[in-house]
Structure 1
Amino acid sequence: MARTNERPTLFDHAARVISALDSQQRLQIVLKLAERDHVVHELVESLGKSQPLISQHLRVLKRSGLVTSARAGREVVYTLNSPKVAEVIHLAQRVGALTSEDGSGGLGEADASDSAQLGQTAVVGHPDTPKDPDTKMPGLVPDLPASPTPGLP
């Protein structure tokens, strides 16, 4: 993370978000919160996990700034700070399906059924993707300075 007296960089922000999402249970909680606000007992029931476990995951998400909470009587209501977080998860699901463990780059039967179960369309390619791997898509990859070491990219 950023040193003291320095503003956090975009990489610091990205690392914070990715770290907070480094759990299947937290991914599921975020997607539930993307649907609507929830109280802990609703998440416990919906995800079939223990209350202490769900509460711990909510603390991590809250500490990262992805989730906020507000007391409503005796219960605490949890809210997702930005719907963009759910988009990040859906994008990661698609990227993960494209880069399957078998190295084929395609979807196996189990991957396709998992994707369908999640209500996501399995993306195999995008029409705007250049056919030539050396062709850059504007805005996606920044131009990097030349390597100071000859022979290295």
Structure 2
Amino acid sequence: MSIYYSGALRRSNGIVAAIAKQLKSVNLKAVKRVTVSFNPFNENAKSTRELLVHLTSPKIIKTNPNCIVKPEVLCNLQPAEVRFSLIDAAKEQSKLKEIRFVCDNLTTLELLQLCNKHISTLAPKEDAAATSLQTKSSKAASSSRKAVKRK
């Protein structure tokens, strides 16, 4: 009698690889402003500070250069939170003005997963035809077609 195999064929790459995978799909095109507020002396603020570092990385800033990322350092016992103020198109789509994450008991990976689930899905879709690049040969071919049609 044989025992059926269950489980993964190999081990996962760990938490760092999971965070890197989530960072690849973060998109801030639907966001006008991000406000990260935390108490630096709170023991649960580490994940919020790490999220702030990730959101201000150049790769994520390129997704929306007009997005303002503002940290707020608190001196009271309020829980750490992240507020995403949405652009008008995203407000109409989601029927929300802003999205808040209370970050007290969440890890950095969980915050990035929530960001991808709720924020990145609101990003407006780009047209593939509008962003396609034309080569010199395709431009020349299209201009010669126009010359033939005029005659």
Same fold by TM (over 0.5)? no
Normalised to the residue count of structure 2, the TM-score between the two structures is: 0.25
Which has the larger strand fraction?
A: 2
Normalised to the residue count of structure 1, the TM-score between the two structures is: 0.25
Q: Which has the higher contact order (CA 8 A, sep 6+)?
A: 2
